[in-house]
Each structure stands twice: as C-alpha cells, then as structure tokens.
Amino acid sequence: MKSLASLPEELHEQVMRAMLPGEEPLWVAQPIPSLVNRLTIPSIFFTVFALFFSVLFVAIAGWVGVPFLLILIAIPAATPFLVRRRMQRTVYLLTARRALLLRPEGRRSWQTLAWPLAPGMVKERVLRADGSGDLIFGYEGGKDGDSTAVPMGFFNLPELRRLEQLLMDITEPLPVAKG
C-alpha cells in the first residue's frame, strides 16, 4: 500500500480529480511493474517469429530487407517496455464507496473505471506464491463485436490478501444483534 502523498505529482492530481466530493482514499496502490506478464507474452512470441522471418527475408532479398527487419523487430520488442511504463502510471484506489482504476490512455488522457463497493463484488481472484495477485471485478466484451471477455479489475497487486480483507471489512454487512 502506498500513501497518496507518495505518488508522483501527475498521478496524485489524477487521483484527486477522480474522487467524488467527500471521498477519502482508504487504500492506494500501483501494480507491480514487470517486463514480462500476460499482456506482453504475445508480443514476445511475435518478436521471435518476426525475427526469424526477417532474417530469412534479408537472406533472400539482401540488404534491401534490412529496414523491414528493423521495423518488424522494433515494434513488438518495444511493447513490453510500453506496458511497463503504463503500469508505472496506473493507480488503484479504494474509498468507502468505490474501487477505482486510473490508467493512462496516451500521453495526456486518462481512463477512470469505478466499481461501487458491494458484497460479492470480486468475481475472481488470482493469488501468486509471493502474495501478489489479481482481483477481477467483472468482464468487458471484446472490441468490434468480439466475443472475448476481457477481465476488468486490479492486476499485479503487491499485497492481495490485505486488500481482500479490507474489501470484506467494508462491504460485509454487520451482523444483526438478537435479543
């Protein structure tokens, strides 16, 4: 967990804009940045594939194929670094009312996703051996009518159990006293 004050100024400003009047942050975190994760595996595979065919193309076409070789290698090879940068600029926030995800959508625009806090809001949990993991709050349909469901939530959390316990404490109704 991070403190709001420990965020870089740009992220701190985005968090303050995303909160509703009267909301206070209860928990703030950022994903664990990594070069290799489930988002970059296809890119790494394509880089190896492109390298093989580019070398083959250069062998057949000669030096004329070198610019194509560089382009085919550079684009997928840069993807893991771009994903890591995006993760470094992503913020997860929990208030007493909502779970918020703030992530960049380019150089100056931001996307804010919010889920109202409710019992059972976590649809799926992925816990890793080191205690990190993912909390999935729902699924979004793929783009352009694609039937692929894209998980939405908090990914690569450093302390998954701590957040889960906090969510349970906030969303579970208090037992009714009999008597």
* Residue 89 to residues 19, 96, 108, Cα–Cα distance (Å): 17, 23, 11
User: What per-residue confidence (pLDDT) applies to 142?
Assistant: 65
Residue 138 has pLDDT above 70, yes or no: yes
Angle formed at CA 82 by CA 57 and CA 143, multiple of 5 degrees: 85
* The predicted structure's pLDDT at residue 93: 92
Beta-ladder partners of 141: 149
34 pLDDT exceeds 70?
A: no
HSE of 42, CA atoms in CB hemisphere, 13 A:
2
Q: Write down the CATH number for the domain with range 4-31+90-171.
A: 2.30.29
pLDDT at residue 123 in the model: 92
What pLDDT sits at residue 43?
A: 62
3-class DSSP assignment, residue 124 = strand
Mean pLDDT of 157-161: 87
Q: In the prediction, which pLDDT does 136 show?
A: 92
Per-residue model confidence (pLDDT) at position 104: 85
Q: What percent of the chain has pLDDT over 90?
A: 16
CA angle 120, 122, 127 (to 5 degrees): 135
pTM over 0.75: no
Residue of 106 and 154 predicted with greater confidence: 154
Residue 92: the pLDDT is: 92
Provide the Cα torsion 32, 35, 41, 43; round to 10°.
130
* 128 token code pair: 């890793």
Would you list the domain boundaries of the chain? 4-31+90-171, 41-84
The length of the chain, given as a count of residues: 179
Return the pLDDT at 146. 62
Burial of 45 (0-12, 13-18, 19+ CB in 10 A): exposed
Q: Is the pLDDT of residue 101 over 90?
A: yes
Q: What is the mean pLDDT of residues 101-129?
A: 88
Res 37: pLDDT: 56
**How far does Cα 1 stand from its chain's mean position?**
16
Separation of alpha carbons 133 and 53, rounded Å: 36
Q: Which is more confident, 56 or 146?
A: 56
